[in-house]
Amino acid sequence: MTTDPDPDVARAAIEYCYEQGWTDGLPVVPVSQALLDQFLAHTNRDPGQVLWRMEHLGRECTVQTAAINAAMAGCLPEYFPIVLAAWDAVMRDRAAKGGGWQSTSGPAPLIVVNGPIRHELGINCTGGIFAAGFRPNATVPRALGLMLRNAFGVAPHVFDQTTQGIPGRWAICFGENEEESPWEPLATEMGLEPEVNAVSCTLTRTYEFVDNRHTQNPEHLLNDFADTISRTGVMIFRAQSAGIVFCPEHAQMLADAGFAKADVKDWLIEHSGRVEADLRRVGKDAVSEGGLGGRSAGEAERVPGDVFTPFLPGRQSVPIVVAGARNAAISMVFRVFGEWSNSSVEIEAAPVAAVKGG
């Protein structure tokens, strides 16, 4: 005989989690040993395996701690291999390994899923990829945020030094719309076999839409993207990385005009940037090529005002993915925090017993 869950008991457990400081402000799922065991059954990894250790904080996150936080985030146990792959993928970024999680910019992990698992788990790839409404899209990135908070102690106002952060910082996860993309999936481009379940993840700083349903000329469209990529406000160093989440309509228009993904990257590399006079006008003419330093306004004219500075150093600086619906010609430019590893991580298959529900 089953009985309805008692809402008051559930609420008391949720409030207990708040009192412990375990939440990101929203309610979390209270985790029993039985629920934790279900999560651990979906990986072959040892619960005590250390996923990452932040030496300077003296804190680490084990597989078991990750599982607890994934459960608290609202993940289903079968999402856990995606959480592990997302963590492994983002930690390939030099910035994530180098203190990026504590950055004053408050970067957000961007999680892209490829492969059949998108449909098996109901990961949204089409309408509303940046909006709420789909459990895996909402809970997988939240799991990473809770891991940061609870395993590493990176919480706002102390070890998380975020100035403002990014709207939806722990909510950016979607599947690539492989079915309507004219190009190879992101994970395939990164060298994995087609149809492999994979996660790509990098830290990002902001998202800016490009709404262009106005032209059928591919160069007009690319100019619109280059204009957004060339905004001076995002510039910290001269070398930057800007990716695009193309809606299917934009991607198909470019592909129909003969642009492979690499051609789009090359076009944007050539056309994205600003002349020196523009940089001087906003006090960024002394910005260095990379690394720290050189952030102050130039005290003397370094080069003529009409010298063009390209912002994107190479194809590795222009990640491209296709997602969203065919509803309108609206795409999204995103800013990579540092540089993406340009790699995808295969999602580990769950043990057979877990798949059978054992």
Partner 1 sequence: MICSDAFKATGDAMAEIQGAPGYRYLTTPHPVAGLTSEQVRERAEAVAGEVARLLSE
Stretch that binds partner 1, among 17-25, 80-88, 197-205, 292-300 (CB under 8 A): 292-300
Instruction: Report the DSSP beta bridge partners of residue 245.
Output: 321, 332
CB of 71 to partner 1, least distance (A): 27
Using the rule CB under 8 A, which residue among 9, 297, 303, 307 binds partner 1?
297
Using the rule CB under 8 A, which residue among 44, 49, 296, 327 binds partner 1?
296
Using the rule CB under 8 A, which residue among 119, 220, 281, 295 binds partner 1?
295
Q: What is the dihedral of CA 213, 216, 218, 220, to 10 degrees?
A: -70
Residue 107: which of 240, 232, 206 has the closest Cα? 206
Nearer to partner 1, 99 or 116 (CB): 99
Q: Are 150 and 69 in contact (CB under 8 A)?
A: yes
Binding mask 51-70 for partner 1 (x = CB under 8 A): -----xxx------------
Stretch that binds partner 1, among 26-34, 89-97, 151-159, 320-328 (CB under 8 A): 151-159
d(CA 135, CA 207): 22
Nearer to partner 1, 161 or 316 (CB): 161
CB of 235 to partner 1, least distance (A): 14
CB of 158 to partner 1, least distance (A): 5
Q: Are 188 and 194 in contact (CB under 8 A)?
A: yes
Nearer to partner 1, 157 or 356 (CB): 157
d(CA 224, CA 247): 14
Tokens of 31: 């985790």
CB of 153 to partner 1, least distance (A): 8
Stretch that binds partner 1, among 27-35, 78-86, 165-173, 290-298 (CB under 8 A): 290-298
Nearer to partner 1, 128 or 165 (CB): 165
Nearer to partner 1, 5 or 21 (CB): 21
Residue 157 makes contact with partner 1 by CB under 8 A: yes
Binding-site ranges for partner 1 (CB under 8 A): 56-58, 153, 157-159, 161, 295-297, 299
